[in-house]
Amino acid sequence: MSELARIIEALLFLANDPVGVQELAEVTGCSVSEVACALEELEAAWAPGLRGLLLRALAGGYTLASDPLAEPAARALLSKPRLAALTPAQLETLAIVAYLAPVSRPEIARIRGVNADSPVASLLDRGLIEESGRSDFGAVTYRTSTLFLKVFGLQGADELPDVAQWDPTPGERSALRDRLLAAGEARAGVTPE
């Protein structure tokens, strides 16, 4: 397959909508006739019955489409519920569990400074964390699940980024502490002296 055909194949894979020959020529810096030849190459490579994808002329352009043979399986796959975006509270809680597991709900609340019931319940419902036993005080402890590893593309928790890379310097710590104290005082309605 020619280099241009491979580039166009990649562009069609990335594009959400059909891409016209003129636009393909513009973005590749090639002529319309060169793009047409490359598309013919792709039509032969993606001919019906050869692969799971097809090159289709659609809405004045070209797109990659799945083979109709795969439709029942594709419908089953795409009908599965997908994870919605996590809220900041859920992300914060998930990070605490990922780095400190096994960790209990009271420990998470103490670290976050607010009640952790809702984020923990949401993360449990989503299957991103799971129970891992009980603390010395009888509280349920949590750890990340296999789904967490899968979603974040990790083999194990040892592949998490090193927390030390975000460790502030003493000067940054002092400035951050001052900002947090000022924000806390402002929320409490205390005027600085």
Domain range summary for the chain, segments of one domain joined by +: 3-68, 88-160
What's CA 15's distance to the chain center, in Å?
19
- Fold topology of 3-68: Arc Repressor Mutant, subunit A (1.10.10)
Give the separation between CA 131 and CA 164, rounded to whole angstroms.
27
- CB of 56 within 8 A of CB of 62? yes
pTM > 0.95: yes or no: no
Cα–Cα distance, 73 to 79 (Å, whole number): 10
For each of the chain's 193 residues, which pLDDT tens digit applies?
899 999 999 999 999 899 999 999 999 999 999 999 999 999 999 888 899 999 999 888 999 988 999 999 988 888 877 767 899 999 999 999 999 999 999 999 999 889 999 999 999 999 999 999 999 999 999 999 999 998 888 888 888 888 777 777 788 778 877 887 777 777 777 655 5
Domain 88-160 has CATH 3.40.50.1110: no
